[in-house]
Structure 1
Amino acid sequence: MAATTGSIGVGWKFTNNIVQLNGSALARPETRTYTDPINGSTGTEQVLERNQFWEVVQRGGNRYMVMRSTDNNGNAIRPSDALNHVFNSRDSYLFDCATPMTLINLKATLDTVGADAFNRNTQGKLTVASWYDPFDNSNFDGGYISRVRTANAGEIVVNGHANLAGETARFDTNQGDRLVVGNTYYFDKPGDNSSAVQGWNAVYLGQATDGSHRFWSASIGEVSVSFRADGSWVPTGGTYGSYYLGAAIANPNLPRLQTWG
C-alpha cells in the first residue's frame, strides 16, 4: 500500500459524482440489463460514460465505474490492463476521496500477486465506487478489514465546531487504535456530514524524523501532519486544522490477498 501510493504522486482530481470518466460522456445514455456479480440478481442500468476500458453506469441511485469486458474492436479486456490504465492515465479519471482507497488496495494487490492471479480472481467483477467492493458479502469495505467507532453529538469540538451524532469517535490509543503503515484512516470535520469537505481518507505512510506523520490522499498527494500535544489528534494547523483524526481504520484484507495469490 505504501509503495503504491508513493509511486503515483498527487493522484486524481476530485469530483462530487463519485466516479467520472473525464470527457467521455455519451451523447445519449444507453439503457440495458445487468447481473449483480455477488448475488446474481438482475436489474436495469443506464450507461452514462465510456472509455476504452471502463463505463460509468447508474443503477437506481448509485453510480459505479464498471470494467468493460471487450474494447471497441471486440478484444477481451484484462482487469490488470483496465486497472493500470486508471493509474497510468490519471487525467482521464475523477473520483471522490473514498474511491481511490479502493483503487489503491486493488493496485497493491495486483502488484503483489501478479497479473495472472489478479485477473483470475477479478474477471467479470471489477467494479468501483467509493467503498463498494464486489468481492465479498459486505459490499462496502473497499477490500479492507475495517473498524469504526462513532461518537455521540457534542463529544468532540474543534475550533468551536462540535461533532454531530454518528460522526467518527476520536482516534484513541487507549481503545486500541494504532497508526500502521499501509492502513487507511479518516480525518473528520466536526459538524459537517454532508459537504464535499466533511472529511478525507488517507493512507498512512509512517512517521518522519521531525515527529510529524506522513499521509497520502487523492487530489492532495503526500502531506505531513503534526498533531496537537493535548492528545486531541487534531492537526496543529493549515488546511487540516479544522479536522480531527477519527476512529475509522481500515487495513488491507491480508487473508483474501493470500487466497488470491
Structure 2
Amino acid sequence: MIRINNRYVTFPQLESQMTLSEFQRDILRQMINSQAVYSYSSAKELDFELQMRENITEAAKLLNNSDASFATFRYSRANPRYWFTERNGALRLLPGVRPSDAINDIFVNGSEYGFECATGMVIVLYKAVMQSLGVERFNHLFQNLYLWAWQYDKDLHLITTRRYDYFPGDILYFDNPDVDPSTPQWQGENVVYMGNGLYFGHGVGIKPKEGMIAELNSFRYPGSTRSAFLLDQATRPDYKRLYEYTTMYTPQYM
C-alpha cells in the first residue's frame, strides 16, 4: 500500500500524476499490492525513489558488463590515477580527484579493478546516486570516498531491515552457512535484485535465485547437507533523505 500526505492512493491516481517507465510501473504495482505501508510526503518523493531504483539496476548491469573482476581484499586493485589501494584492500580516493570521475572510471576501465562483492554493491549505489542527484551534488556530498566492504559515506544513508517483500533495486544477501573453510569468500553473496526473478552479484553475474544458490553450493565443504539460501532482509538507501538533497543548493565542486 502507498500513502501520500497521509492519504492512501491507487495505481490509476499515481499513474495520472507521474511519467513512468514500464520498469517503474512494475515496482509501483508491487508496492501498491504489498501488505506493508509505504508513506511519502508527495508524489515527487515517490517518483524519486522509483527513478533511483531503476538507476540502481542500470548501474548493476553496467558493472556486470564492465571488465571489473572479483577479488578478495588481499588482491584488490584499482586505477592508480584515481584511487590509492591500501594494505587492507580498501580503495581510497586520491586528493584532487572528482568523486564522479573516480566512480565512472570503474565502469569505463573495469579491467584495472578488482574488488569483492560488498564493495561492488556500494559502487553500484554510488553510481545510482550520481545519476539520481546529478554530478554536482554528488561531488559535493561524497568528497572522501573510501571503498571497502560495507564502509560507505554517511550521506548514502543505508538501512537494512528484516522483511519478506522486496523490490527491484533492493540489496539482498544469499547466505552459505556450510561454506568450505578454504574458500571463505563464498560464505555468501551480496546481490542487487534486478526484477523478474533475477539477481546481480559481483563475480557471479546476473542469475535467477536457483543459479545463485547453485553457485554458492558449489563452495560448500564435502558432505554438507545445508543449502545456501536467501535471507529475509533488504538493504535500501534512505530515499527520503536522499530526496531532500534534490532541493538543496549545492556550490560548484572544485
TM over 0.5: yes
Normalised-by-shorter TM-score class = 0.5 to 0.7
Equivalent residue runs for 1:92-107 within 5 Å: 92-107=112-127
- Answer yes or no: is the 8 Å Cα contact 1:126–1:134 preserved in 2: yes
- After superposition, where does 1:1-261 map in structure 2 within 5 Å? 1-11=56-66, 12-17=68-73, 20-21=76-77, 51-58=80-87, 62-70=88-96, 77-123=97-143, 125-135=144-154, 143-147=157-161, 176-192=163-179, 195-207=184-196, 213-226=197-210, 238-241=214-217, 242-261=227-246
Root-mean-square deviation (CA), in Å?
2.5
1:256/1:86 Cα in 2 relative to 1: closer, same or farther (>3 Å)? farther
> Structure 1-normalised TM-score?
0.62
Q: Is residue 20–residue 94 contact of structure 1 (8 Å, CA) maintained in 2?
A: yes
TM-score for both structures, normalised by structure 2: 0.63
Residue 107 to residue 57, structure 1, CA distance change in 2 (3 Å): same
| Cα distance in 2 for residues equivalent to 1:82 and 1:203 | 22
Give the structure with the larger strand fraction.
1
- TM-aligned CA deviation for residue 193 of structure 1: 8.9
Q: What is the distance in 1 between the residues matched to 2:202 and 2:245?
A: 26
CA deviations on 1:21-73 (whole Å, 9 max, x unpaired) are 25xxxxxxxxxxxxxxxxxxxxxxxxxxx700110124xxx542111113xxx
Does the 8 Å contact 1:205/1:216 carry over to 2? yes
Aligned to 2:249: none
1:110 Cα deviation (Å)?
0.3
Unpaired runs of 5+ in structure 2? 1-55, 218-226, 247-254
Structure 1's unaligned 5+ residue stretches are 23-49, 71-76, 137-141, 149-175, 208-212, 227-234
Residues 18 and 96 in structure 1, CA contact (< 8 A), matched pair in contact too = no
Matched letter for residue 219 of structure 1: G
1:186-215 CA-to-partner distances (Å, cap 9, x unmatched) read: 1011233961111111100112xxxxx100
How many pairs were matched up?
Answer: 179
* Partner Cα distance (2:100, 2:208) in 1: 31
For 1:218, the aligned partner's letter is H
Percent of aligned positions that are identical? 24
Deviation (angstroms), 1:143: 4.4
Q: Which runs of 4 or more aligned residues in structure 1 lie more than 4 Å from their structure 2 counterparts after TM superposition? A: none
